[in-house]
A and B are shown apart, each in its own frame.
Chain A
């Protein structure tokens, strides 16, 4: 009902103001021999903008504060000892009054003071609603009156509307900045709170990760050494690169230099399918298929390989990254000038010699940039390692054993009913900050290399 009235009010205001602006400007144009600066549409839109803004501001403020105001009003109506009740009982008492006021009623006979409060609340609601609607309508109408008086032959209505549009566009593009600021501030603030519990040196150089769970309270906090997690992250990323770089690079070379156009058109999209698969699917794949397979292979050759290990996670992450490497290197190889290739072939080099001795060295910086981008993606990857790395945050160097990573620990520390005051959950933000800085540096470096390389041939 309320929403309907508000929508109707805004709609009526919109229609009337647009109509007023439009028709007044048209009349003006008809009556005068001079031409209007802007077309009537813009006058209409401008008047509508002027009329709607104050009404929306009033309604918005009401939406923000009406809840707490009506609670305070009901509380004032109830006998004074109600205020002594606990938070939950207070909530229930207020809820009962609201239920009676809406006519839904409460089970059983309501107490007389409740009925009285409910009657008073009903009146209050009606009055406040009428007041707000009235204020919004009056302000809107006032603004409408003022705006339509501005209409004249010289009014630059279009320019003003365009400025409003421009302001809207600018507001939208600041969202990206606000997001970054939000990320940095929230990570930094909570990480600093974490560092007030734990010495940063201990965090960055500690070799034991044992954050004891928080049911023990905020007392002694456990050990938060980052190094085991960092090493796990690096090891898994290394394995992923060992899988992805050769396969990705060779596929890119073959597809761009050797393969028939038709083969390329079929194979390339199929490989790119790998990039679109959600990482949770890769995690499940690693857990159910790759892990047991690797363990079986290990058994067959006499090696002790765990089903959930750095190796499993790394191999599957490598598979995920193949299309990333192949499409980036494909682009970069394609940018090497044709003349260099043709020159090498013309001197009698075979195709593979041309690729290895001419194309690859020329494309090398770009490929390195692409690999760095892939590394930053591997470092930030979460679901595969959550499922397949075994979650064992111990510093060890055998890739066939379980390990843990920065991202896994963030998930572990923040899932469940964490309160945001204990070091056990705050450490997630310190880890997040580390991750953010690492990937940021890698990305900036990679983009710098790729861009620098591009300039060489332009």
Chain B
């Protein structure tokens, strides 16, 4: 460019100067534009990094929880109810159960706290501490844990057995330092002597940080936060995902096949198509309203049940699966259909024997992605009562249950923030882990199956 300018002597230096200036300006703006792009990408990547970094750094420590290892003496003087009742030949099932219930009630009413107390004192014999403060050291579920241990094996009566008991949430906070250690006594949740004992036991190795398996095997707990786990929510989510897979996939694939392969192009099918696109964009909470009004209020299905949650999530996932299946059906070359039809196959045979098998990878990945979406959905579940506190693992899809994301919602609102912020992050890690796993399976299947085609 500058060559032509040079040859033009009249305009000479002035022009050259002008062009050089404008070029410099243009190049500057080019660089700035480029940098704006780079910065945006850096920001987006930064958000991903901060999000994951925060959750992992907060959540990881709560997978290791302070645990007390003690020798428990199942004292016959303290445990009431006598030996386990044996089945009498004359008794009906109901009579036998009544006797068992009576025995269990007696055992439950025994002074289990005293047994916990004795066990803790034997591990620190020289330490002066009041019973109330001592019991603060371990989770309040300890007495139920020992009781259940006894129910499972009544022969331990009168024996001394090693047992691991979770430390209480407050002890865990103290030992991990998630609570400010320099606060004065009045601001601490534990008494001075309990704190001292906790430190001492940690030094002696009676308390250690063990992997918190109970996060995966326990259900949520209100009275004993240290023992709260995800098992109930996990089962609830599992039932819902099963319902979603069993209902959404066949219905979704069938309607996609009909719309793409059979449907005449008329006002009805247009309506269905517009409908599906709209459904895909309806806010999820509206599906929750639908579930509350139709499934619970009108059809009278039980509140908080995974069945209702599963149905709501099915309706939500359906458009995803239909749209994805349709696009993979569209990707099957028409020559394949024409060949099948030309050889005398009926339209059903063409579709079910030749076209549909080719779309399996597409359907499979769409299913997994839809299920992953449904797995993380929270808002509609709140409206159908799945945010209720449930202390049981649901035995079937009609039992009350909660779900993983709803459990996260419940835990983030817990008053014991020092403890539950970490526990919430741990639950999020479990949820994200499952979603990443699902997506990885989807990607793996897609690459694997598509290559074979």
- The interface residues of chain B, by DSSP majority, are classed as helix
Verify A380–B285 contact, CB threshold 8 A.
yes
Bound complex: CA of A20 vs CA of B388, how far in Å?
A: 54
Verify A432–B285 contact, CB threshold 8 A.
yes
**Chain B residues closer than 8 Å to A432, beta-carbon distance:** 285-286, 289
**Chain B residues closer than 8 Å to A72, beta-carbon distance:** none
Bound complex: CA of A165 vs CA of B253, how far in Å?
A: 13
Taking A104-B94, A285-B54, A432-B289 as contacts, is the C-beta distance between A254 and B38 under 8 angstroms? yes
Verify B285–A382 contact, CB threshold 8 A.
yes
Taking A179-B315, A428-B289 as contacts, is the C-beta distance between A277 and B51 under 8 angstroms? yes
- Residue A103 contacts which of B30, B40, B93, B284 (CB distance < 8 angstroms)? B93
Is there a chain A Cβ closer than 8 Å to B271's Cβ?
yes
**Chain B residues closer than 8 Å to A281, beta-carbon distance:** 51, 55, 376, 408, 428, 431-432
Verify B435–A322 contact, CB threshold 8 A.
no
Q: How many residues on A have C-beta within 8 angstroms of the other chain's C-beta atoms?
A: 93
Bin chain B's interface residue count.
35 or more
Verify A410–B30 contact, CB threshold 8 A.
no
CB distance from B396 to the nearest CB of A (A): 14
**Chain A residues closer than 8 Å to B40, beta-carbon distance:** 246-251, 254
**Chain A residues closer than 8 Å to B328, beta-carbon distance:** none
CB distance from A45 to the nearest CB of B (A): 12
Is there a chain B Cβ closer than 8 Å to A297's Cβ?
no
CB distance from A205 to the nearest CB of B (A): 23
Verify B382–A415 contact, CB threshold 8 A.
yes
**Chain A residues closer than 8 Å to B282, beta-carbon distance:** 183, 380, 436, 439-440
Chain A 151-193: CB-based contact to B (< 8 A → 1; otherwise 0): 0000000100010011011101111110110110011011000
Is there a chain A Cβ closer than 8 Å to B405's Cβ?
yes
Verify B294–A383 contact, CB threshold 8 A.
no
Bound complex: CA of A248 vs CA of B424, how far in Å?
A: 29
Is there a chain B Cβ closer than 8 Å to A351's Cβ?
yes
Verify A287–B37 contact, CB threshold 8 A.
no
Contacts of B18-57 to chain A: CB distance below 8 A? 26-27, 29-30, 33-34, 36-41, 43-45, 47-48, 50-51, 54-55
Is there a chain B Cβ closer than 8 Å to A132's Cβ?
no
Is there a chain B Cβ closer than 8 Å to A350's Cβ?
yes
**Chain B residues closer than 8 Å to A190, beta-carbon distance:** 293
Verify B254–A168 contact, CB threshold 8 A.
yes
Which chain A residue has the least Cβ–Cβ distance from B97?
A107
Is there a chain A Cβ closer than 8 Å to B259's Cβ?
yes
Bound complex: CA of A254 vs CA of B44, how far in Å?
A: 13
Which chain A residue has the least Cβ–Cβ distance from B51?
A285
Bound complex: CA of A394 vs CA of B26, how far in Å?
A: 49
Verify A183–B281 contact, CB threshold 8 A.
no
Taking A277-B51, A280-B408, A281-B55 as contacts, is the C-beta distance between A176 and B255 under 8 angstroms? yes
Is there a chain A Cβ closer than 8 Å to B387's Cβ?
yes
Bound complex: CA of A379 vs CA of B424, how far in Å?
A: 26
CB distance from B317 to the nearest CB of A (A): 11
Verify A271–B48 contact, CB threshold 8 A.
yes
Verify B289–A186 contact, CB threshold 8 A.
yes
Contacts of B38-82 to chain A: CB distance below 8 A? 38-41, 43-45, 47-48, 50-51, 54-55, 58
Known: A247-B44, A250-B36, A352-B34. 7 other contacts (CB 8 A): A107-B95, A251-B44, A255-B41, A288-B58, A352-B33, A356-B33, A436-B286
Closest 9 CB pairs of A and B: A380-B283, A278-B376, A254-B37, A105-B92, A173-B255, A186-B293, A172-B254, A250-B40, A352-B33
